[in-house]
Amino acid sequence: LFVTGLTTKASSPDAWKKHYQELTDSCLKVSGLRNAKAVGQIVGFGDNVGYDALLVGGNYPQPHMNNQVGQVLCLFNRRTRQAHTQEANDLISVSQNRYQSDRFGFRFEYPRGYVNDAKTLPKGNPAEAIDIWTQATYDAIKSGKPSELPPNVSVTAEQNPQKLALRTWVSKSNRFPSPNKFREVTIAGQKAIAFQSTGLYESENVVVPSPNRAAVIVISLDKDGLPDTDKTYRLAFQQIISTLQFINP
């Protein structure tokens, strides 16, 4: 059994295998795609969240789509053992946008309808910062409408020249007020950590080391407690995590 992405610790290999099979079968069934198969990486969130996410690829069945290949995001509820696509009555095409950092050797994908606002900083940390916004929010920001920046998803690449352990790196950073609920996860084949923090917004964060451990990738989801906003940006957060890859610089 080969599983990549962000995974939680199963109670036993057999229990995880059974869960994985049930999750996969359920997601393939509800995807609405022809020739459906699991692609990308499973994203498993902690018990306080209670669901797993899986990208499913296949062919769109609608005649006007001309058998076009696409992907949908499936969420599997661990408590009810039910799977559904992100929008119950609508196929969401994902994996349409890609960001790649040649400097740090990583890439990820994010859904259509979102834009990235990337900045490369020659000195200091973060060395590379990418904000992910919905198109509507991005347009509003550019027009100067919000008095303060709303919650979003951010990805930063930061130097770790001393190759500090991840929790040590977090504790020495001034970015994460009141970090808590740390847990070990695996993302993009690397041993990473996930945790929460509290500042202007409640945030979910993951910190992923580069293969040589000289840099870290930080992916953060800011939440304002409004269900529609949180749901909108969680979709991008999940896809970035599940598609993050390290590439040759």
* Mean pLDDT of each 10-residue bin along the chain, 249 residues long: 38 80 90 84 59 81 67 82 63 62 91 85 75 90 77 93 96 90 91 91 94 96 82 88 84
pLDDT of residue 213: 94
* pLDDT recorded at residue 64: 52
CA R_g for the chain: 18
Q: Which domain CATH number covers 198?
A: 3.40.1000.10
Do 33 and 134 lie in one domain? The reply is no
* pTM more than 0.85: no
Residue 91 within a domain? no
Number of domains in the chain: 2
Do residues 107 and 101 make contact, with C-beta atoms less than 8 angstroms apart? yes
- Answer yes or no: is 164 within a domain: yes
**71 and 122 housed in the same domain:** no
Q: Give the pLDDT score at 8.
A: 44
- How much is the pLDDT for 96? 63
Residue 80 and residue 165 in one domain: no
232 is a domain residue:
yes
- Residues spanned by the domain of 67: 5-85
Give residues with Cβ within 8 angstroms of 11, minimum separation 6. none
The beta strands (E) that lie in 66-189 are given as 69-77, 82-85, 97-101, 106-110, 114-120, 128-134, 153-159, 180-187
Select from 85, 119, 140 the last residue of a domain.
85
Residue partners of 162: CB distance under 8 A and separation at least 6: none
Question: Which of 62, 85, 108 is where one domain is finished?
Answer: 85
Q: Domain check: are 60 and 118 in the same one?
A: no
Q: Is 135 exposed, middle or buried (0-12, 13-18, 19+ CB in 10 A)?
A: exposed
Instruction: Let me know if residue 92 belongs to a domain.
Output: no
Is residue 238 domain-shared with residue 181, that is, in the same domain? yes
Please give the distance of CA 184 from its chain centroid, rounded to a whole number: 16
Give the C-alpha separation, 61 to 57, whole Å.
12
